[in-house]
Structure 1
C-alpha cells in the first residue's frame, strides 16, 4: 500500500531484514495459489455450468463467487513477477490498471456475494414463508449482476489513480496508487472501510446470529427443515467462516493503516508492523480463493453428486468417441 516505504525497506535489508522474504517466498506462494486457484475454480464452474439440472439459488451465488475467485487468481501471476522483480513493474500502465482492477473487484464482489449468501440463508431459515417468492433463481441472477456492477463502481479509484512511475532513488518503475492529494486518499480509504468492512461485517454478523438462533429453535422443537436447505446452510456457513478467517485480519490491518495515515494513530514502529502484517494478511486473504472450491467438495454433498455425474458423462462421452476408432482398428480398416 505504501510503495515508497516498501521500496525503501527492500533497498535496506540491513535495517529491515523482515522484508527479505519478499523476493524469495512470496512469488512462489503467489504462483502456487494461482495454479491451484485456476484449476479448482474452473472445475467448480464446469460442474455448475455443464450439469443438466438448473442451478439452485445457493449454487448461483457460489458459482459467481467462484468466478470472482478465478478473476483474482488469474491476475496474481502478474503481481508475483512484480514482487520477484523488486516492485519493478514490467507490464506497462494499461496492465497496471487492469490487473489491479481485477484484484480489487474480487475483494468487493466476493464480499457482496457472501452478503447475498447470508441474506438467502436468513430468508430460508428465519422468514421461510414470507420471503419465499424472493428466493428465485431469476432474482439471484439479478442480484449477482448488480453486485458485479457495484464492485466495478467501488474499483473506479483503482482504475483512475493506478499508474506506473519511475522512482530514480530506487531504480524501479512502480505500479502504485497515486492520489492527487492526501484528502482524496483518506476519503477513498474511508469509503473502502465502510463498504468492505463495517457494512458487510454488520450484515453478515446479523444474519449469522439469526440463522444460529433459528437452528437452535428448530432443534428444540424437533423440527427438521428440508435436507436441501440443511445441506445448503452447512456449506454456506463453512464458506462464511473460511472467508472471515482469511479476510478479517486483512480488513483490520487496512483499518489501522488508514487511521495511521489520518494521524489518529502514530508511531514509526507501528507503521513498520502494519506494512509487514499487510503483506502477510493480504496473501492469507488470497488463499481463500483456493479454499472455497475445497470446501465445496468436502462439505457440499450436492456438489459432490453433481461433480460425479459430470465426470461420469465426460468419461462415457470419451469412450463413445474412442469406441468407433477402436472397432475400425480391430477390423483392419485403420493401420498404424
Structure 2
C-alpha cells in the first residue's frame, strides 16, 4: 500500500474500527447476562445473608463477590444501550467513567477474592483441625476491606478525569473508553494498564499454586477412609471451578489486553488496519468472556457450600 493510499484509507480513527458484528452481538450478549445475572446474584446474596449457618471467612468473601457482581450487572443496561446505538454514548461523561470504574472494580475484586478463596481452601485442607477451631472472620473482613479500598482507589482517577474518556468521532458519535488521541492521556493510561496486568498475574499465580497444592493433598491423603469417592469428586470440582473462571473469563482478556493497549495508545505502531481491527475484534470477544464471571461466581458458591464443605467435615474428623 502506498503512503498516499494509506493516508486516505487508514487514518488514526480507523485504527479503532471493528467488525460490524460487535454491536449486535455485544448487545444480545450483555442483555443475556443482565437477564440471567441479575436474579441469579440477588438470589445468591439472599441465600448467603439468610443462611442459618454462622458467618465464616469464606462466606465473607462470597458475599463480597456477590455484591461486586450485583453492582456490575445493575449497570449493564447502559452498556446495552451503547451497543444498541452502535457505539454512541448518550449519557454523561461521569456515567461513562462510573461504568468503566465498576468494570475494573468488579474484575480485580473478583480476581483477588478468588485468590483468597483458593488460599483459604488450601488452609482448610492442609490444616483442617486448626481452621475448624479458629474462625478467621477478622482476617476475612480485613482482607475484603483492603481489596475494595485498593480497587476503588485505583478507579478514582478515572472518575475524577471523567471527561478524558468521552471522545467525539467524525460521525458525531460519542465514544466511551475509545478513541484516545491526546498524548498526555495516553501516557497516564499505560502505567494503569500495566498495573492491571500485574494484578492478574499475581492473582492467577496464587490460584494456580493453591490449586496444585489442594489437588495434590486430595490425591495423596490416605487417612480418610470414610470419605466417599463422590465427595472427593465434588471437592476436585470446586478447585477446578475456580480455575475455569480464571481461564475462561480472565486469561483471554489479559493475554490480548496488553498488546491491544499498546496498539490503541500507539506505543506499538502498526500501519496495518486489518491487523489492528482483528486485535480489536479479539479484544471485544475477550471483554464478553470476562463478563461471564458475573453468572459463574454464584455457581461457584454451590461447590463451596456442598461437596467441599462435606469433604472438609470428614477430613477434620479424621485428623482429630
The answer to whether the superposition gives a TM-score over 0.5 is yes
State whether structure 2 residue 288 is matched by structure 1 residue 283.
Answer: yes
Show structure 1 runs of 5+ residues with no match: 11-18, 306-336
1:98 & 1:110 partners in 2: Cα distance? 18
- Which residue of 172, 185, 192 maps to 2:189? 185
Residue number in structure 2 paired with 1:250:
253
CA 1:74 to 1:253, structure 2 compared with 1: closer, same or farther past 3 Å?
Answer: same
Deviations 1:115-174 (A, max 9, x none): 111111122223456777775122212211211111112223432344364525121122
Residue number in structure 1 paired with 2:298:
293
2:249 & 2:218 partners in 1: Cα distance? 25
Residue number in structure 2 paired with 1:9:
17
**SS of match in other structure, 2:52:** coil
- Greater relative CO (CA pairs within 8 A, separation 6+): 2
**SS of match in other structure, 2:175:** strand
- Contact kept, 8 Å, 1:235 with 1:300, in 2: the verdict is no
- Contact kept, 8 Å, 2:82 with 2:89, in 1: the verdict is yes
Deviations 1:305-330 (A, max 9, x none): 9xxxxxxxxxxxxxxxxxxxxxxxxx
**SS of match in other structure, 2:177:** strand
Q: Which moved more, 1:176-185 or 1:136-145?
A: 176-185
State whether structure 2 residue 151 is matched by structure 1 residue 151.
Answer: yes
Matches within 5 A, 1:63-102: 63-102=63-102
**SS of match in other structure, 2:171:** coil
**SS of match in other structure, 1:155:** helix
Displacement of 1:57 after TM fit? 2.2
Q: How many residues align?
A: 290
Matches within 5 A, 1:186-205: 186-195=190-199, 197-205=200-208
1:134 & 1:277 partners in 2: Cα distance? 46
Q: State which structure, 1 or 2, has the greater radius of gyration over its C-alpha atoms.
A: 1
1:28 & 1:262 partners in 2: Cα distance? 31
Matches within 5 A, 1:246-325: 246-260=249-263, 261=265, 263=267, 268=272, 269-297=274-302, 300-301=305-306
- Contact kept, 8 Å, 2:125 with 2:214, in 1: the verdict is yes
2:54 & 2:134 partners in 1: Cα distance? 17
1:212 & 1:4 partners in 2: Cα distance? 49
Residue number in structure 1 paired with 2:103:
103
RMSD of aligned residue pairs (Cα, Å): 3.2
Deviations 1:79-126 (A, max 9, x none): 110111122111112211222211111011111101111111122223
CA 1:5 to 1:155, structure 2 compared with 1: closer, same or farther past 3 Å?
Answer: farther
- Contact kept, 8 Å, 1:89 with 1:173, in 2: the verdict is yes
2:258 & 2:40 partners in 1: Cα distance? 31
Matches within 5 A, 1:111-150: 111-128=111-128, 136-150=136-150
- Contact kept, 8 Å, 1:121 with 1:233, in 2: the verdict is no
Displacement of 1:276 after TM fit? 0.2
2:243 & 2:40 partners in 1: Cα distance? 18
CA 1:174 to 1:236, structure 2 compared with 1: closer, same or farther past 3 Å?
Answer: same
- Which residue of 207, 222, 226 maps to 2:210? 207
- Contact kept, 8 Å, 1:246 with 1:284, in 2: the verdict is yes
- Contact kept, 8 Å, 1:297 with 1:303, in 2: the verdict is no
Displacement of 1:68 after TM fit? 1.2
- Contact kept, 8 Å, 1:82 with 1:88, in 2: the verdict is yes
**SS of match in other structure, 2:75:** helix
- Contact kept, 8 Å, 2:168 with 2:175, in 1: the verdict is yes
